[in-house]
Amino acid sequence: MEVKTLGQFVIEKQADFPYAKGELSRLLRDIGIAAKIVNREVNKAGLVEILGETGTVNVQGEKVKKLDVFANEQFISAFKAGGEVCAIASEENDDIIPIDNAVSKSAKYVVAMDPLDGSSNIDVNVSVGTIFSIYRRTSLNGAGTLQDFMQKGTEQVAAGYIIYGSSCMLVYTTGKGVNGFTLDPSIGEFCLSHPNLTTPKSGKIYSINEGNYLHFPEGVKKYIKYCQEEDKATNRPYSSRYIGSGVADIHRNLINGGIYVYPTTTKSPKGKLRLLYECNPLAFIIEQAGGKATTGEKRIMEVPITELHQRTSLFLGSSDMVDTAMDFMTKHSAEKV
Ligand code: AHG
Ligand code: MN
Ligand code: MN
């Protein structure tokens, strides 16, 4: 069987961007390399007890870092060395990281990322992920600015995620469909395993942290009850699946069909998830796969962004399921929690 690596694939696809000079391809390649290094550390995470606990010095005399800090540093140094990016925004950093060095002089892009998604699962051998979103800079030259990130999700040039699961996968889009690559550890390459990924129009899975039920808006409470009702025609009741790593929940739902909801709650009235580096990239992927992503009211990728770490509610997945959930939201919008 013919094997196509991520590197070969992005170069082949470069023809889709007649005015691009290969920078985006190089950037995607750099992300792939950082992902492999993070994957290696994720795989070793269970050995932390043996090699040294977080914050202590391990047998090699290196300080052991928490995986989210490690992942953040790894991606940042890949972007700094790559020279295609003039600023980075990360969940782990309050402010943007401007880059203005010899290699980034003509950098055209900015990257926003959640270096380690699913941090509550780091220490328990459950899938975690990385999410990234790439924009063309709006500033003219030098280091990038905060303003470069104040672009709607519709302006994304590329976005993707890496899932460090039972196998490691990289899934990305440049606005021409979604492709998935699985890391073959024997050759150390991401190989095209899921070409042209599409998500079913409907599914049988709903993913939401039901522990927050009492704090949900009325529309969400009613939608959950709808998911649990008996109805042969629509395949209900649905199954409830919630890992707590958004990337893993959304990846499963993308492949099998389903809906992921993180609504506003009375505790987080704006929602919990971040628009720039969680919701927008995942929305770009799901839309490119034929699904939908909304706030419960409007399309995620059209939400204006005014703050780096802006939060939003998220309804994301199979289009029919998102439509139904939004109908419930509209119908009960006037009701108090
Ligand atoms: P992060 O680990 O980057 O903070 O993000 C976790 C996100 C998302 O991936 C997950 O679905 C959700 O937060 C879990 O939150 P709850 O524990 O509140 O359900
Ligand atoms: Mn996250
Ligand atoms: Mn995170």
Q: Are residues 86 and 11 in the same domain?
A: yes
- 229 CA to middle of ligand 2, Å? 31
pLDDT digits (tens, 9 = 90+) for 46-90: 776 555 456 666 565 556 668 889 999 999 999 999 999 999 999
In this structure, which residue's CA is closest to atom 18 in ligand 1?
209
pLDDT of residue 336: 61
Q: Is the CB of 145 under 6 A from ligand 1?
A: no
**163 and 137 part of one domain:** yes
Chain-centroid distance, C-alpha 301: 14
Return d(Cα 77, Cα 98) in angstroms, integer: 12
Q: What is the pLDDT of residues 30-47, one digit of tens each?
A: 999 999 999 999 988 777
Instruction: Give residue 127's identity as a one-letter amino acid code.
Output: S
* Ligand 1 site-directed mutation target among 278, 311, 315, most atoms within 8 Å of CB: 278
Give the per-residue pLDDT at 61: 59
Q: How far is CA 166 from CA 185, 192, 218, in A?
A: 12, 17, 37
The answer to whether residue 200 sits within a structural domain is no
**Would you say residue 337 lies in a domain?**
no
In angstroms, what is the span from residue 106 Cα to ligand 2's centroid? Answer: 30
Give me ligand 3 centre to Cα 241, in Å.
Answer: 20
Residues 205-250: pLDDT tens digits? Answer: 999 999 999 999 999 999 999 999 999 999 999 999 999 999 999 9
Query: Atom 11 in ligand 1: which residue has the minimum CA distance?
Result: 246
**Does residue 180 share a domain with residue 244?**
no
pTM of the full structure: 0.95
- Dist. CA 237–CA 208, nearest whole Å: 15
Residue 11 shares a structural domain with residue 125: yes
pLDDT digits (tens, 9 = 90+) for 119-140: 889 888 899 999 999 999 999 9
pLDDT of 294 > 60? The answer is yes
> Are 188 and 244 contained in the same domain?
no
Residue 182 pLDDT grade (very low, low, confident, very high; cuts 50, 70, 90): very high
What's the rounded Cα separation, in Å, for the pair 169 and 130?
10
Final residue in a domain of this structure, among 194, 219, 237 = 194
> Does the beta carbon of 246 lie inside 6 Å of ligand 1?
yes
pLDDT tens digits along 260-285: 999 999 999 999 999 999 999 999 99
One domain, residues 256 and 136: no
Domain count, the chain: 2
Query: Which segment of 71-85, 177-191, 238-252, 323-337 scores lowest on mean pLDDT?
Result: 323-337
Band (pLDDT 50/70/90 cuts) for residue 101 is confident
How far, in Å, CA of 197 to CA of 190, rounded?
A: 16
Strands 158-164 and 109-117: unpaired
Q: How far apart are CA 160 and CA 62, in angstroms?
A: 31
In a shared domain, residues 260 and 225: yes
**Domain range enclosing 26:** 6-194
Task: Indicate if 56 and 101 belong to the same structural domain.
Answer: yes
Q: Please tell me whether residues 232 and 122 are part of one structural domain.
A: no
> Mean pLDDT across the chain, nearest whole number?
93
What is the Å distance from ligand 3's center to 312 Cα? 15
